[in-house]
Structure 1
């Protein structure tokens, strides 16, 4: 049975109680810089790196034995990232989601804004949902053929948190629903699959999932090193569905990923290397000479995954003209 047909059948069970408060919702960190959230059938500890010591005191002795108490350890692990996951092997605890102060601030501001929106009379609910959060807005930009294109990123802090939570959800499913051995690349795109599922569950729309898709493509165009987080090949088949058809929520993420995972695009290292070469040849600073036949056997799929993002930025007609000028296989 085709993926589209099966998704349409199974996903028609989506819960209408979206955005209802639960233990898995981020409600803001405590004054001591931590908060528990659900991660599969365990708990994850969201931790402000500035309160590393206080956070660790919330863990069991078994989990603590697997971590280092020193602030230097936390700083070195996080590096320049905004967030990352430290998983632990323990019956009750899945691990820690470590946050940089900048992300903590963005999340706290987002919680404040969301609370203000929820306090508005239900009569004006639709209008309040359409309002744009100024504080949580970011911007991503790329340069194509000497011209800059930008995309507004809304609620990016929340998407980042969901991505990290997705890591823990997927780690918990390894060896049962997911393979026991996953590459670093698989871990990253699986976390984005969780982000898609979670954003749809919470909002009933695919807007934030599309934003994450465009962001990954733009990051790849800007720096080939971001290939490690490129989830467009896996997400497009899900994003191509109509939102109302995808509002079918498997009540649990584990059921969703069990059904979807076997049908998602798998790219091995050699294939990724070919896409890396083609992206650099197309967008890299040294790509001054047009080579439309370069790696032609990968052109159609790369164009397929880039087309929605370039269309969003350039306009569909201009994007199609540009793609055809770059790739002889189209």
Structure 2
């Protein structure tokens, strides 16, 4: 799909509140809750019972989130994406260095949609051992989002926006660790140039090339990062422990540095990382 086709699909969704969008092996239905009944009427009857059929059911399922995906194992429909436009964030903020930093989010409507479509595509990829964990599903969906941006020749800044969004969300609330794709996206950006990412004609090809070389963290390792982030950015901290989780600090600093530099400026960000023993020159 070209960038112009992506723009057209977004316009059609805004105008009609539902659309069919192509995937690698079929199509998915995208529904806005503003016209839920009309959209659900497009769902084949034999799978319609698997999705919310009323506005109250949809709102309850979304739980305040901006989007929710329902994958199907069906030849006629690969999945349904439910969107609540009013709940899709327009900015993300975090507090550190004694002030609040905010990042406006551009084209978040389309990026949210691509992330959810990524969940459907990932369901078709067969993991070598156990099924994908919830965390793997989230970072793979963000890799899909970044690939779609590159494939359609969109601005690379939108990919970095997603990266910064994940970092800032984690710095605000360690519960966002479940969606912290930044360590994986950092590896993706190190391995490929923006033009090289766009040369993968399908997501399966990128997955096959990238996944075997991707370093992934275990649950215990992620828990250590969460503890370090909470200790560093949590507003309830009462004293400094500069050596706390010292073995995780350089890597955390590496993943945070692009975001801190964007928000604070490179010099101030590097001084802050040095102060917190997270600075790395690599």
Alignment TM-score, normalising by the size of structure 2? 0.89
Q: How far did residue 31 of structure 1 move? A: 6.4
Q: Aligned partners of 2:209, 2:8: CA distance in 1, in Å?
A: 22
Larger radius of gyration, structure 1 or 2? 1
Q: Aligned partners of 2:64, 2:110: CA distance in 1, in Å?
A: 18
CA pair 169-199 structure 1, distance change in 2 beyond 3 A: same
Worse-superposed segment, 58-67 or 316-325: 58-67
Q: How far did residue 51 of structure 1 move? A: 2.5
CA pair 152-22 structure 1, distance change in 2 beyond 3 A: closer
CA pair 247-225 structure 1, distance change in 2 beyond 3 A: closer
Residue 200 of structure 1 aligns to a residue whose secondary structure is helix
CA RMSD of aligned residues (A): 2.6
Structure 2 portions without partners, runs of 5+: none
**1:185 aligned partner:** 135
> 1:275 pairs with 222, 225, 230, which one?
225
Q: How far did residue 28 of structure 1 move? A: 1.9
Larger RCO: Structure 1 or Structure 2 (Cα < 8 Å, ≥ 6 residues apart)?
A: 1
The 5 A counterparts of 1:118-129 are none
CA contact (8 A) 1:63 1:89 kept: no
Residue 29 of structure 1 aligns to a residue whose secondary structure is helix
CA contact (8 A) 1:140 1:152 kept: yes
> 1:54 pairs with 31, 34, 38, which one?
38
Q: Aligned partners of 2:6, 2:235: CA distance in 1, in Å?
A: 47
**1:96 aligned partner:** 80
Q: How far did residue 304 of structure 1 move? A: 0.7
Q: Aligned partners of 1:24, 1:93: CA distance in 2, in Å?
A: 21
Q: How far did residue 80 of structure 1 move? A: 0.1
> 2:149 pairs with 192, 199, 203, which one?
199
Structure 1 portions without partners, runs of 5+: 1-16, 107-136
Number of aligned residue pairs: 280
Alignment TM-score, normalising by the size of structure 1? 0.77
The 5 A counterparts of 1:249-264 are 249-264=199-214
Q: Aligned partners of 1:147, 1:22: CA distance in 2, in Å?
A: 37
CA contact (8 A) 1:170 1:178 kept: no
Q: Please give the per-residue CA displacement for 1:251-309, whole angstroms capped at 9, x wherever unaligned.
A: 11121112212222312211111100000010001223111100111111111100110
The 5 A counterparts of 1:113-262 are 138-173=90-125, 175=126, 181-240=131-190, 243=193, 245-262=195-212
